[in-house]
Amino acid sequence: MTTATTGGPATRAVGTPHVRLEGRDKVTGAARYAADHPADGLAHGWIVPSTVARGRVRSLDDASALKMPGVLAVLHHGNASRLTEDFVGTFGPDATTQVFQHDRVPYLGWPVACVVAETPEQAREAAETLAVTYATEPHDVDFRPGHPGAYTPEEMAVGPACTEKGDVEAELAASDVVVDAHYSTAEEHHSPMEPHAAMARWDDGRLEVVDSTQGAYATARDLALLFGLDPASVHLRSEHVGGGFGCKAQVRPHLILAVMATTLLGRPVRVVLTRAQMFTLIGHRSPTAQRVRLGAGADGRLRALEHTALSATSTVREFIEPSAQYGRSMYDADGHRTVHSVVRLDVPTPTYMRAPGEAPGSFALECALDELAERCGLDPIALRARNEPAVGPVSGLPFAGRRLLDCFAEGARRFGWDGRDPRPGVRRDGRWLVGTGTAAATFFTGARPSTAAVTAHADGTFTARIAAADIGTGARTALTQLAADALEVTPGRVRVLIADSDFGDAWLAGGSMGTRSWGWAITLAARELRERLALGEDIPPDGLTVRSDTEQAVNSLAAYERHAYGAQFAEVAVDPGSGEIRVRRMLGVFAAGRIVNPLTARSQLTGGMIWGLSMALHEEAVRDTATGGLVNTDLAGYHIAAHADVPAVEADWIDDPDPDDPVGIKGIGEIGGVGSAAAIVNAVWHATGVRHRDLPIRPDRVVLMPRP
Amino acid sequence: MTASTSGVITLHVNGEPHTLTVDHRTTLLDALRERLGLTGTKKGCDQGQCGACTVLLDGRRAVACLQLAVAAEDRAITTIEGVADGGRLHPVQQAFIELDGYQCGYCTPGQICSALGVLDEHAAGWPSAVTADVRPEAGPPALTDDEIRERMSGNLCRCGAYTAIVRAVAQAAKVVSA
């Protein structure tokens, strides 16, 4: 067999735009998501959520439900199979998995039963008419600053809850200018367009699962652990996933119930969450109450930086929205303190949501810096330039590149920032007041161990296998480009298969670490394969396969502050009469390492920026303290940015090479949503002269906040 | 299922008749997905708020989740599976691929069916909420980005692919009207 990869020049698939490989399937309806897979004898599960916020299930009339047409089973805490107690999954201990393992109701919407029937209509009717009674207990869902139950833990999932250096109080006292401001953000929901769905069936002793998950391997491993199964007996696929944003990274009730039901009934079962259940069963972003205190000299140099953040978690599991960590790598001061605290309420458990911590945290800190710039009489970009740290403010580690100011320079040039009149509230366009704003952005660059296999076939083509997920990121296409370059062949000769737990351990699509982690594994395997072929190794009939595992490489990365950076710009128009805010344009310029696929990268970055717009102006889950539930568990009441809300949004990037980095790729999934809300809020101040510190800036907030 | 709660209907989907017995409660969306295997039409909210299940009924946009299957008899139903002309993609589909008018792809079938409706409604002279001059004699307004955004606003995209979707619809409009 010829050594097909030698002789030609290296291809350069990476860095050139490629349309999505699955594009045709997506525009013709052929792409199958988790709820789209057919199965003979399929039964349908419908979850019954609790209607009280705290208490115990007293009775559940499953006998009546079982008499209804088509009903096959009613699963509940009295008859469900036992799961592993004290389950510790990919993201640590997680008692939200203990579905039907007890009669306790920890929040409104907790699953108390699941009706399985021949058709979705029959399952739904039986579920909606199932009589459940509760022994209720008083609940507390009232998130507020100063809540007596707030506490500060030692650790959060992502690092220490507190950091401190120097004397914040003394530095504040010695400062010429002090900003002390409180900020709040609303409870937000991921709201991917695809509701979570899973289909499970037993096939010859193996559990075959299709799930909407951001990590096929991690979910399969956690599922096996939860059910006490041999991990090899669980096979999970997630070929197409309709958005994730963090809410599809864990085992969720729909999957647990599909497995319980198929095990009980011996036939395939599908469970799909309703849109309302998407607001209670899959995590969300906690509301936050934040306080930022900044002290600076008259020249704008920070002497004190304090950022405290309160978020809420459930009584089931502790999850802390790490809002105050944003400043740990961004800005230095002699007195520097970041503190997280959390309060347990009778609400669903929050989780990672696109730019966890960074999204709300950058809103508060970047808006506070804008206030500081105003007080110092400085341009907001000049203020940031004056506060560029030499090393990590908390870690003391050197930066592996920090091109923040270059992002600002390029962004300012393209946005037309120079010569901006700093005065607020002076630009009119008919009924509109017009203003511009800016903010910085950062997101850490991480990598997690992953395995991959790349096979050379006798016909000169290649197949790469990795349990990656493409949740809309373009991972499938990017990995094909990376594999092609490593093999030094055209992408047309490479097939990348993803989203199958049988492909082995791989990081999930999260933390902006997917393409970096997976690309690393694919590249290692592909390079070795190319070298072996170049040395003349034969390709056997079933192909020549090289496997890689990046665990050692990832763990031996030198310690640096590794981040992507960005500069966000926005122009808004505010109608002070109606309170309406229209974003007229947004620009983000990023330094985010090597951009693998400019076409899909631009989409991902602008998508993140639109999340910032949506957070700034629209998204707000409203909890009713009387019932304990949300009042707007649907996409009419919980508004996410729609077409008409979104103006021209531009994202671009500057070169950001790091010759010392073995991959050179940084994540881009989250940084677009960092600083973008702050840029809009700062623009609203520039338009109106009003500092809005509570998100979203609803029309009523505009109307009720008098202009100076 | 008893006779009183089910019925035999014929649905005309993408030019093909399909005769089936349906529970009267079955939505057009569930009939397409669960009974006819046409899973290209997506269920995003099942309550008419997201647009993911947009299909064309007699050429006009409709959300299939708010339509009972029994009420869709004798209507010409076009789903995403019927948009391409055999192997040849419609200009809207082609533009979505070329300009990356999607990310996860879940809202895409609805966006594309909606875009087809937009192009027809615009060509027929229908104004929108952002049309400056709505007098019939003014004729169809220019299909500006603002017009496209307004007319496509029933189709949510959580990935935030809106800017590329608008570009794709604008490009397709030029191809279709050429």
Query: What is the model's pLDDT at position A1?
Result: 38
How far is A645 from chain B, CA to nearest CA, in Å?
8
Whether A282 contacts chain B with CB within 8 A: no
3-state secondary structure of A311: strand
3-state DSSP call for residue A573? strand
Encoded tokens for A260: 């319980």
Task: Let me know how long chain B is.
Answer: 178
C-alpha B42 chain-centroid distance = 11
Please, which residues have CB within 8 angstroms of residue B156's CB and are 6 or more apart in sequence? A193, A635, A640, A642, B44, B49, B50, B51, B52, B107
Within an 8 Å CB–CB cutoff, is residue A430 touching chain B? no
> Who wins on pLDDT, B19 or A6?
B19
The model's pLDDT over A121-138, given as tens digits with 9 standing for 90+, comes to 999 999 999 999 999 999
For residues A263-283, give the mean pLDDT: 98
Contact status, residue B28 vs residue B69, Cβ threshold 8 Å: yes
Cross-strand pairs, A651: A588
Task: Tell if the CB–CB gap between B34 and A119 is shorter than 8 Å.
Answer: yes
* Residue A275 to residue B52, Cβ atoms within 8 A: no
Fold of A399-445+562-708: Aldehyde Oxidoreductase; domain 4 (3.30.365)
Nearest to A564 by CA among A383, A287, A341, A362: A362
Residue B93 forms contact with A (CB below 8 Å):
yes
A137 is catalytic: no
Asked if pLDDT for residue A707 goes beyond 90, the answer is no
Q: Is A240 on the interface with B (CB under 8 A)?
A: yes
Contact B97 A611 (CB under 8 A): no
Chain B residue with minimum CA distance to A651: B163
Taking the CA of residue B51 and the nearest CA in chain A, the distance in Å comes to 10
Tens digits of residue pLDDT in B22-66: 999 999 999 999 999 999 999 999 999 999 999 999 999 999 999
Helix (H) or strand (E) holding B162: helix B162-177
Dist CA A98 CA A84 (whole Å): 8
Q: Which residue of B has its CA nearest to A609?
A: B160
- The verdict on A69 touching B (C-beta cutoff 8 Å) is yes
Task: Encode pLDDT of A88-100 as tens digits.
Answer: 999 999 999 999 9
- Considering only CB atoms, which chain A residues are within 8 Å of B83? 28
Please compute the mean of the pLDDT values over residues A445-465 and round it to a whole number.
97
Point out the residue among A240, A474, A606 whose CB comes nearest to the CB of B160: A606
User: Touching check for B11 and chain A: CB below 8 Å?
Assistant: no
Quick check: B56 contacting A, CB < 8 Å? no
Residue A493 is classified by DSSP as G
Give the minimum alpha-carbon distance from A591 to chain B in angstroms, rounded to a whole number.
Answer: 21
Interchain contact A41–B (C-beta under 8 A): no
Chain A nearest CA to B97, separation (Å)? 6
A473 touches chain B (CB under 8 A): yes
Q: What is the mean pLDDT of residues A8-20?
A: 83
Residue B109's CB is within 10 A of a number of other CB atoms, namely: 30
Confidence of residue A5 (pLDDT cuts 50, 70, 90): very low
Instruction: Determine the pLDDT at residue B3.
Output: 58
Interface membership of B14 toward A (CB under 8 Å):
no
Tell me the pLDDT band of A2, cut-offs 50, 70 and 90.
very low
Confidence of residue A596 (pLDDT cuts 50, 70, 90): very high
Q: Do A644 and B153 touch (CB under 8 A)?
A: yes
- pLDDT (tens digit per residue) in A199-224: 999 999 999 999 999 999 999 999 99
Active-site pick, A410, A488, A620, A670: A670
List chain B residues with CB under 8 Å of A27.
80, 89, 93, 96-97, 102, 108-109, 112
Which of A193, A272, A275, A610 is the best mutation test for B, with the most CBs of B within 10 A?
A193
Contact B158 A243 (CB under 8 A): yes
Cβ–Cβ contact A534 with B under 8 A: no
What would the two tokens of residue B118 be? 């937009």
Residue A7 has pLDDT above 90, yes or no: no
Contact A600 B100 (CB under 8 A): yes
Which of B34, B36, B88, B100 has the most A C-beta neighbours within 10 Å, making it the best mutation to test the interface with A? Answer: B100
Q: Do B105 and A472 touch (CB under 8 A)?
A: yes
The pLDDT of residue A3 is 40
Predicted confidence at residue A186, as pLDDT, reads 98
Q: Does residue A6 register a pLDDT over 60?
A: no
In chain B, residues 113-142 whose CB comes closer than 8 Å to chain A = 130
Please write the tens of the pLDDT for every residue from A382-391.
Answer: 999 999 999 9
d(CA A320, CA A340): 8
Asked if the C-beta of B31 comes within 8 angstroms of chain A's C-beta atoms, the answer is: no
Cβ contact (<8 Å) for B158 and A600?
Answer: no
Residue B49 at interface with chain A, using a CB cutoff of 8 Å:
yes
Nearest chain B residue to A605, by CA: B160
Is a pLDDT exceeding 50 seen at residue A232?
yes
Q: For tokens 């496509």, what's the residue?
A: B152
Name which of B108, B145, B153 is nearest A27 (Cβ-Cβ): B108
Task: Report residue A180's pLDDT band, with 50, 70 and 90 as the boundaries.
Answer: very high
Per-residue pLDDT tens over the stretch A488-523? 999 999 999 999 999 999 999 999 999 999 999 999
CATH level 2 (architecture), domain B91-177: Orthogonal Bundle (1.10)
Which chain B residues touch A23 with a CB distance below 8 Å?
A: 96-97, 102
Average pLDDT over residues A643-652: 97
Across the interface, of A194, A611, A634, the residue whose CB is closest to B47 is A634
Tell whether B50 is within 8 A of chain A (Cβ). Answer: yes
Of A87, A336, A357, A56, which is closest to residue A224 (Cα–Cα)?
A87
A23-31+446-552 topology per CATH:
Aldehyde Oxidoreductase; domain 4 (3.30.365)
- Is A399-445+562-708 the same fold as A23-31+446-552? yes
In chain B, which stretches have pLDDT less than 70? 1-3
Q: Is B113 exposed, middle or buried (0-12, 13-18, 19+ CB in 10 A)?
A: buried
Give SS3 for A617: helix
CATH of B3-82, one of 3.10.20.30, 3.30.56.10, 3.40.50.300, 1.10.10.10: 3.10.20.30
Q: Cis omega before residue A662 (within 30°)?
A: no
Q: In sequence order, what E strands does A419-497 have?
A: 428-429, 432-444, 451-456, 462-465, 494-497
Looking at residue B155, what is its pLDDT? 98
Contact: A192, B106; criterion CB under 8 Å: yes
Q: Do A649 and B23 touch (CB under 8 A)?
A: no
Question: Touching check for A18 and chain B: CB below 8 Å?
Answer: no
Per-residue pLDDT at A10? 55
CB contact (8 A) between residue A272 and residue B104: no
Average pLDDT estimate for A399-404: 97
pLDDT in tens, A252-270: 999 999 999 999 999 999 9
> Are residues B75 and A303 in contact, defined by beta-carbon separation less than 8 angstroms?
no
Interface contact A243-B112, CB threshold 8 A: no
CB contact under 8 A, A27 and B89: yes
Q: For testing the chain B interface, which of A643, A645, A649, A668 should be mutated: the one with the most B CBs within 10 Å?
A: A643
Looking at the complex, does the CB of residue A39 fall below 8 Å from at least one CB of chain B? no
Q: Which residue out of A22, A28, A118 would a mutagenesis test of the B interface target, given it has the greatest number of B Cβ atoms within 10 Å?
A: A28
User: Which strands make up the sheet holding A288-296, listed edge to edge?
Assistant: A162-165, A335-344, A302-313, A288-296, A177-185
List all residues of chain A from 580 to 639 with a beta carbon under 8 Å from chain B: 599-600, 602-604, 606-611, 614, 634-636
Whether chain B has a CB inside 8 Å of the CB on A12: the answer is no
Q: What's the pLDDT at A8?
A: 44
Chain mean pLDDT for chain A: 97
CB atoms closer than 10 angstroms to residue A19:
17
Tell me, what amino acid is at A557? L
Give the domain ranges of chain B: 3-82, 91-177
Domain ranges of chain A: 23-31+446-552, 399-445+562-708
pLDDT by residue (tens digit) across A323-359? 999 999 999 999 999 999 999 999 999 999 999 999 9
Query: Which residues are within 8 A (CB) of B144 and not within 5 positions of it... i.e. 6 or more apart?
Result: none
**Separation of alpha carbons A542 and A453, rounded Å:** 14
For position B177, what pLDDT does the model report? 86
List % helix, strand, coil for chain B (3-state, nearest 5): 40, 15, 45
Which residues fall within 8 angstroms of residue A264, CB to CB, at 6 or more apart?
A73, A75, A81
